Chains A and B, each alone.
Chain A
Amino acid sequence: MSGKEPVAVVGVGQTKHVAARRDVSIAGLVREAAQRALDDAELTWADIDAVVIGKAPDFFEGVMMPELYLADALGAVGKPMLRVHTAGSVGGSTALVAANLIAARVHGTVLTLAFEKQSESNAMWGLSLPVPFQQPLLAGAGGFFAPHVRAYMRRTGAPDTVGSLVAYKDRRNALKNPYAHLHEHDITLEKVQASPMLWDPIRYSETCPSSDGACAMILTDRAGAARAPRPPAWVHGGAMRSEPTLFAGKDFVSPQAGKDCAADVYHQAGITDPRREIDAVEMYVPFSWYEPMWLENLGFAEEGEGWKLTESGVTEIDGDLPVNPSGGVLSTNPIGASGMIRFAEAALQVRGQAGEHQVPDARRALGHAYGGGAQFFAMWLVGSEPPAS
């Protein structure tokens, strides 16, 4: 046998994401998502060969290496279990590590899961521990990213109305997604624009919530996909890229690692014109302005032009390039799971299983995650058809 084994997503499960799941333990939360993924794939725990789990820092729940404690709840006893941690991109990286187990033919069917139960602790605290000789993050992630948004606005001349358009779009999309955390039925553009300024130019309604939630996927090989009860999503390309946190040459507006990661994925998938060839994008947008920024970074728009796509409605769910039809990170942010939700939602789109937020005839979709100081990137491109080779 030569070449990689094709990888298919045959099961997706999420919890209903909320501010605090006080009715379940961490184990109960992850079990719920995993069971839903198994149900979707019509498989049992015995069908799973290995478990790959991811989440953001252990300080977010106060449990060191929680995979040890979660082995029982995830049916991993007697099986291999890996724990991935690549900051905010971890949900995506976790799925890619799981996919590689199948691509390498080490395992046939793998459960991959990512979670965050933020109500167990305080993420702002977890992100703000003082470290000697290092620039403090101070006010969580928003304080770190706001200057980079401002730099984007200066560089491109984007009008300051663009950020609120993204938030208004994603919060409306979330109303179509039963698993989304924020369901703001009375949302209006005016309300977004009138919300308090938190980290200039980022307003309250342009930031992600803190969620409890988990997302799971069942990945399998060609034989497994043939047995799947519902259409699989096929992985056509996947990649991770990292660059240093801080250095003189770093472009925080459009990091090179993001560009390289996207280029690698497109190359693997045979995509030459992402704007035309990709039907839906689940993009990691924790602060609204990151939609136009990433549109450029991911090659959907020329440099300086991303905001124009957003402003013209191209990224609306009924637009030419729907971005975050699920409501995105702006509506649901269990940090460590957020990347995997992007990957899973992309899979749901090409499986035709996205329900009310389904993009009609989506055949190719991109899942995107980033983390750290805009330094870790993970992406995959999934399609409704198996890869050519």
Chain B
Amino acid sequence: MSRDPSRDVAIVAFAQSDSLRRTDDLSEVEMLMPVLHDVLRQTGLKTSDIGFTCSGSSDYLAGRAFSFTMALDGVGAWPPISESHVEMDGAWALYEAWVKILTGETDTALVYSYGKSSPGSVRDVLTRQLDPYYLAPLWPDSVALAALQAQALIDAGETDEPALAGIAARSRDAAVGNPHAQLRGARPQGDHVVAPLRQGDCPPIGDGAAAVILAAGDRARELCERPAWIRGMDHRIEAHSLGVRDLTDSPSTRLAARRAGAFDGAPFDTAELHAPFTSQEVVLRKALKLDETVRVNPSGGALAANPVMAAGLIRLGEAAAGIHRGESDRALAHATSGPCLQQNLVAVLEGEPHVR
């Protein structure tokens, strides 16, 4: 029952770093600090005013155990804070924080996440997510797995290479208006990386960080002129093995969307989809029943900037920021994790005052 939550909770501030191909001169903490300062500045809150803090990151990207401990030092957890961490994209940290606020134990939460893909080969690193006994030893990389999904879609007649190229072009055109995006404007679709996926069908490899502040009820109205109310949020996981999944569909996205209330109420004007590959947008649009009236990824989406572990949180933040600016009234935000959209989170955000 992730619908009709017992408290009104909103995203009241969002900040993100530029997404950059390399950040050799910055540690994760140095990359994160300006983002934390920015999101706190937007609300006038200090770390000590925040009721709960939750973050998302991955030790495997950082190349060391307990990598999140250093980021916590950057937060300035003194006096001690109520704090937690998920080894997932920051979108799930936001979910944990949302639940914490729903318990009534706190009215505000700071959520952040970050990831640097540049120090290693992210395609290789992500193979370590796979079944360690049967699949990971074969080192099938993330692009190859996405290509399997893309080919399945083409074989099923759901899309073709020119349509995928259209998604890439639209996303990168949209990113022209996003100063934080890594790739902006018209770009050649390029050669096949793993057929049928070309360079343009794949996300850029980059580093970045993001943060949001959540607040409940009147606290949200104090902190933000037009809060982005979370009307519902849910996430679902599917089987790991690609052999037992229909790669042309995303039942977990559909179920999460239903539980979040995405299929009830007014139509969406905007959707921020975490689709690192063009072909995945095809799957998500179908699962979410999004038609051409919905602006999909006006930020440029993950095809313009895909800092692993932050890209999902950025979708929630971009959707909320559109509401903050008055450009959107009802937005859908989506985040994914795992190979070929294995795990998916859907949130419904609205701008109007909540009438109960």
The interface of chain A, by Cβ under 8 A from chain B, is 1, 3-4, 25-26, 56-72, 76-87, 93, 96-97, 100-101, 103-107, 120, 126-127, 129, 131, 133-134, 239-247, 249, 255-257, 260-261, 372-373, 375-376
Contact = CB atoms under 8 A, between A and B. Distances in A.
B86 A85 contact: yes
Contact of B132 (A4, A62, A105): A62
B131 A82 contact: no
A87 B87 CA distance: 11
A169 B68 CA distance: 35
Contacts of A72: 239-241
A261 B338 CA distance: 34
A57 B126 CA distance: 16
Nearest to B53: A242
Contacts of B99: 97, 100-101, 104, 106
A97 B128 CA distance: 26
Interface of B: 1-2, 5-6, 27, 53, 58-60, 63-66, 68-70, 72-73, 76-88, 92, 95-96, 99-100, 102-105, 125-126, 128-133, 136, 234-241, 251-252, 255, 337-339, 342-343
A65 B251 contact: no
Contact of B238 (A78, A106, A127): A78
Contact of B84 (A58, A79, A240): A240
B125 A64 contact: yes
Given A62-B128, A65-B338, A72-B240, A80 B234 contact: yes
25 contacts: A4-B105, A58-B58, A64-B129, A65-B129, A77-B239, A78-B238, A79-B237, A82-B96, A83-B92, A84-B86, A85-B68, A85-B86, A86-B85, A97-B84, A106-B1, A106-B2, A106-B102, A129-B63, A242-B53, A242-B72, A243-B78, A244-B78, A246-B73, A256-B79, A375-B77
A238 to B, nearest CB: 10
A82 B95 contact: yes
Contacts of A1: 6
Given A80-B234, A244-B72, A373-B69, A58 B240 contact: no
Nearest to A86: B85
Given A65-B129, A104-B103, A71 B69 contact: no
B83 A240 contact: yes
B251 to A, nearest CB: 7
- Return the 7 tightest CB-CB contacts between A and B, nearest first: A57-B65, A257-B80, A104-B102, A242-B83, A85-B87, A64-B128, A64-B60
Contacts of A247: 73, 78
A183 B234 CA distance: 44
B70 to A, nearest CB: 7
A241 B77 CA distance: 9
Nearest to B126: A64
A77 B237 contact: yes
B77 A242 contact: yes
Contacts of A105: 1, 6, 102
A77 B241 CA distance: 11
Contact of B235 (A65, A80, A96, A260): A80
B276 to A, nearest CB: 15
A84 B85 contact: yes
A57 B235 CA distance: 23
Given A69-B240, A70-B240, A78-B238, 13 more contacts: A62-B128, A63-B136, A64-B125, A72-B239, A77-B237, A105-B1, A105-B102, A242-B53, A245-B72, A247-B73, A256-B79, A257-B80, A375-B72
Nearest to B245: A77
A141 to B, nearest CB: 11
A251 B73 CA distance: 15
Contacts of A87: 66, 69
Nearest to A129: B64
B324 to A, nearest CB: 25
B264 to A, nearest CB: 18
A63 B172 CA distance: 34
B66 A372 contact: yes
Contacts of A82: 86, 88, 92, 95-96
A241 B82 contact: yes
Contacts of A257: 77, 80
B342 A375 contact: no
A68 B103 contact: no
Interface centre among B66, B83, B131 (most CB of A within 10 A): B66
Contacts of B96: 82, 84, 97, 100
Interface centre among B126, B235, B240 (most CB of A within 10 A): B240
A242 to B, nearest CB: 4
Nearest to A108: B1
Given A72-B240, A134-B70, A244-B72, A86 B84 contact: yes
A256 to B, nearest CB: 5
